Each structure stands twice: as C-alpha cells, then as structure tokens.
Amino acid sequence: MCAKKSIYAVITGSGSYIPPVVIKNSHFENNVFMNEDGTRIETPGNEIVNKFEQITDIIERRVAEPQHVTSDLATFAAQDAIKSANFDPEKLDYIIVAHNLGDIKSGALYPDILPTLASRVKNNLGIVNPNCVAYDITFGCPGWTQAMIQANYYIKSGDAKSALVIGADTISRSTDPHDRDTMIFADGAGAVVLEARESEHPVGMLKHAVRTDAVEYMDLLRIGQSYNPEVEGENLYLKMLGRKLYNYALTYVPLLAQQCLEANGMILKDVKKVLIHQANAKMDEAILKRLCRLYGEKDADLDVMPMTIRTLGNSSVATVPTLFDLIVKGKLEGHELKSGDNVMMTSVGAGMNINAFMYKMP
C-alpha cells in the first residue's frame, strides 16, 4: 500500500543582491558620537571603532548605490532567484516583500511605501498576470522568515502553487550619524522561489514557532530623534537599546528555537545548520551557546552557525535569505547543504518579534 502524499513548500531557487559599495569601520572614526542625553562621547574615534569591532565582529558593511532604493535591490535578488529556479514569473501566485522602511532615496529620510514594494517589484519584473498577488510585510528583522511562514500556509492549503519571497532593506539610510549603532547597519536583499511539491515524506518547509513581546520590550528597536540636540526638524532615525535588546535575545531566542525543534520532533543534534539573523556576531554566538546548554551540551560547535556579518554588516530582513543563497551556491567557504539536511532559520527584531522554522533540504 502506497504512503499518502502531502503538499510541501520547497525552495527551487534562491538569489541575493550584495551592494558593491564597501564601507570600512575607519569611515566612522571622525563621526561626532553622542549619548542618548545629547552629551558628546569624548572617547577618540579610533577607540570607539575598535571597541565596536570587538563587540560585533563587524569590520565592514555594504550599502546601496545612491541611484538604488529598496525595491531595486529586491528586484535584483528576485531576478537571481527566478533564474536559479528556471521559473516563469508569470506563473507566480504570490510576491511577498519583507522590509522595514520602504524605498528611502539616498539623502532622504521619508519612507515611501505607497504603492507597496511588492507591487513595484512585480512591475519591475514585468509580470502582467493579475492573479499574482503582491504585498508587503513589516515584522522587523524577522520579516523574511515570517513571510516564508505565510507563503508556506498558502502552498500547504492549496491556495497557491508558488511564491516569490523577498527580504530587502536599505536600512543604513535611516541611521543617526551621531549614534554608535549606525555602524551596525547595512543594505542588501535576498529572495527565494517556493513551489508546491507532493511527497510521501516531509520536505521543504516544516513547522515553525513565533512570538511577539509588545509590552515590556516594544521600544527596544524604534524610530526616534537624533542624539544630537542641534539637529533641527522632525527627522527620525532608527534607534536601538543595545544592552536591553542583547539580554532579550539571549533570554528568548534559545527558548523559541527549542520550541520550534520540539514542534518538529527534533533535538539540536538533528540540525545541520542554524541560519540566524546576522545582528551581532558575539550575540549570535551567545544565543547558540545558550541553546546548546538547553540540550545539555557544554560546548557549541560554531560551524553549525554560518556568519556573514563580519563583512556584510546587518542588512536586517536580507541577512537570512542572503546567507541561505550564499551557502547553496557554494559561495560561503566551509559551509554546504545537502539533500536531507535539516536547517533552522531564525530571527529576532523590532516588535519585539522572534520566529524560527525548520527546513529540510530536498
């Protein structure tokens, strides 16, 4: 007797766009950095930069070229994914674009999100099919992983046979030059094509876990005024309470990851790779070590957690799909994924939101 087949959402192609403009840490040595109360930080710029590198492991980051906006980067990654999948874009059922602040032109601070970036990407791709539904999702840095969870629902329910899921940000344009956190953020885009596949055994997108803490922790990442009190106007910038966010992530991301594993009937040793949001290398390492301790493991194998933040910075929603694309295309030395490998993809960010899902390589 044949086993019953079920529908699964499988990645058939991936793509990414890493901007060519490289900004090294030395670029920030002459910035006038200030505290939240508007007082100047008197520490020499080179010492601030060196300390920053020690904390985050970031030595450089990528930023978008002046003529490009977020929807452009999203389009470039989408084209790469569609080509990789050898897929006819006219057959797409959904285009979901995860981002944070829309299309911000170089030198501007006003976020442009009307029409949606997904509609702009659909237009850029020249897709005529009106049944290809395009919409955006804003869920902080976990936006792309949440969009993947949504797309999985569409496909498993039979509502869709395919989806293009994109994460893109030009978040470096929303940073305050007087805030040391400006050195963390970068730009980029990543995308995948998801297609329905019948299988007797679980494959592709598996079960997930998600949480939102919107009372005590909502303002850990927010939009606020410059730390420089002399900056005039109502311009608003990305603001982060770094220490509190670090403690939040260390407390709850390992627990959420464990919840995701339990939902899938797995333990940590079943996971080949953990693709975690590239927020801060030291923080991500601490999260993995704490997750290992939940399973009685004293030492964490850092090879299970590939990192790109050292040279690419934190490109928010783009970090996880970019990481996946680099690995499957053999562009991240020392890392590979094979058929049957279990991959956890997880992220944490503004909201505060945390999510994770398991993916079994086809």
Q: Give the 3-state secondary structure of residue 165.
A: strand
For the chain, domains (ranges, CATH) are 6-199 (3.40.47.10), 204-360 (3.40.47.10)
**Quick check: 1 pLDDT over 70?**
no
- Write down the residue that tokens 């303002």 correspond to: 219
In angstroms, rounded to a whole number, what is the distance separating the alpha carbons of residues 250 and 349? 13
**How is residue 267 written in tokens?**
């333990």
Q: What is the mean pLDDT of residues 88-116?
A: 92
Is-contact 164 195, C-beta < 8 A?
Answer: no
Per-residue model confidence (pLDDT) at position 136 = 98
pLDDT tens across 250-282, in order?
A: 999 999 999 999 999 999 999 999 999 999 999
Structure confidence at residue 301 as a pLDDT band (50, 70, 90): confident
- Write down the residue that tokens 């999985």 correspond to: 152
Alpha-carbon torsion (113, 145, 172, 189), positive or negative: negative
pLDDT tens across 124-148, in order?
A: 999 999 999 999 999 999 999 999 9
pLDDT tens across 308-359, in order?
A: 999 999 999 999 999 999 999 999 989 999 999 999 999 999 999 999 999 9
**Quick check: 25 pLDDT over 60?**
yes
Among the residue ranges 3-17, 53-67, 68-82, 226-240, the one predicted with the least confidence is 226-240
Judge residue 236's burial from the number of C-beta atoms within 10 Å of its C-beta, 0-12 exposed, 13-18 middle, 19 or more buried. Answer: middle
**Closest among 202, 130, 283 to 291, alpha carbons compared:** 283
Per-residue model confidence (pLDDT) at position 4 = 85
CA distances from 186 to 59, 65, 262 (A): 12, 12, 34
H helix intervals, the chain: 45-56, 70-85, 117-125, 143-157, 242-263, 281-294, 309-312, 319-328
Per-residue model confidence (pLDDT) at position 236 = 85
Is-contact 284 347, C-beta < 8 A?
Answer: no
Per-residue model confidence (pLDDT) at position 95 = 98
Q: What is the mean pLDDT of residues 69-73?
A: 97
Q: Which are the contacts of 262, defined by CB distance < 8 A and separation ≥ 6?
A: none
pLDDT tens across 27-50, in order?
A: 999 999 989 889 999 999 899 999
Per-residue model confidence (pLDDT) at position 124 = 98
- Write down the residue that tokens 């590198």 correspond to: 53
CA 32 to chain centre: 29
DSSP states of 184-200: TB-EEEEEEEEEEEEES
In angstroms, rounded to a whole number, what is the distance separating the alpha carbons of residues 45 and 54? 14
In angstroms, rounded to a whole number, what is the distance separating the alpha carbons of residues 173 and 150? 28
Structure confidence at residue 298 as a pLDDT band (50, 70, 90): confident
Give the mean pLDDT of the chain: 94
Alpha-carbon torsion (97, 317, 355, 82), positive or negative: positive
Per-residue model confidence (pLDDT) at position 2 = 58
Among the residue ranges 65-74, 230-239, 290-299, 315-324, the one predicted with the least confidence is 230-239
In angstroms, rounded to a whole number, what is the distance separating the alpha carbons of residues 198 and 161? 11
Alpha-carbon torsion (218, 219, 221, 224), positive or negative: positive
Q: Which are the contacts of 10, defined by CB distance < 8 A and separation ≥ 6?
A: 194, 195, 196, 197, 203, 204, 205, 362
Per-residue model confidence (pLDDT) at position 184 = 94
Per-residue model confidence (pLDDT) at position 133 = 98
- Packing angle between helix 70-85 and helix 117-125, nearest 10 degrees? 50
In angstroms, rounded to a whole number, what is the distance separating the alpha carbons of residues 104 and 171? 9
Is-contact 116 134, C-beta < 8 A?
Answer: yes
pLDDT tens across 143-200, in order?
A: 999 999 999 999 999 999 999 999 999 999 999 999 999 999 999 999 999 999 999 9
Q: Give the 3-state secondary structure of residue 222.
A: strand
Structure confidence at residue 107 as a pLDDT band (50, 70, 90): confident
**Closest among 99, 276, 64, 87 to 164, alpha carbons compared:** 87
The pTM score is 0.93
Q: How many CB atoms lie within 10 A of CB 18?
A: 23
pLDDT tens across 192-251, in order?
A: 999 999 999 999 999 999 999 999 999 998 988 898 988 877 788 889 888 899 999 999
